[in-house]
Amino acid sequence: MEVRAPLPSVVGPLAGHHGRYLPILACTSILLSLFDEEELRHHLNFYVAKGWVPRDVALAVKEALEVVPKDPNSAALRRERRPRVEDHVIAVYLLNRLARDDRHDDAFFLLLLLLKAYGQGAAASGSLLELRGEDGKLFNVG
């Protein structure tokens, strides 16, 4: 049986970030909690055009969009509200954190993804960020 070589990535690894695909996938999944795919692609282009986010990071996230599963239920919920300033602040922060050459950030992104998956992130009492209504449904809290 012949084993075929994997197709080359459209985007090379982030400069100095070889092998950081887990944080890229985790960050992409988290961003899809804030925006639907079309919005995310639009905002990535905007962030790069404004110089807020490095181009290679935006390209890596766009490539990851091809493999990260989409949740049609949360996409429908997001269409009911416009992105808030807080969504953009979080997105730009996460994308710039992804650009850093710091292996400790790998655990940061994976922890955020686990918190998102289990609805623990904003549900903690005394949290500065309290999700209510439709926002809470995105993270399965409230």
Q: How far is CA 6 from the centre of its chain?
A: 24
pTM score of the predicted model = 0.65
Give the pLDDT confidence of 61-74 residue by residue, as tens digits. Answer: 999 999 888 766 65
Residue 89, CA atoms < 13 Å, CB-side half-sphere: 3
Mean pLDDT (whole number) for 10-22:
57
The span from the CA of 105 to the CA of 125, in Å, is: 25
| Whether residue 12 has pLDDT greater than 70 | no
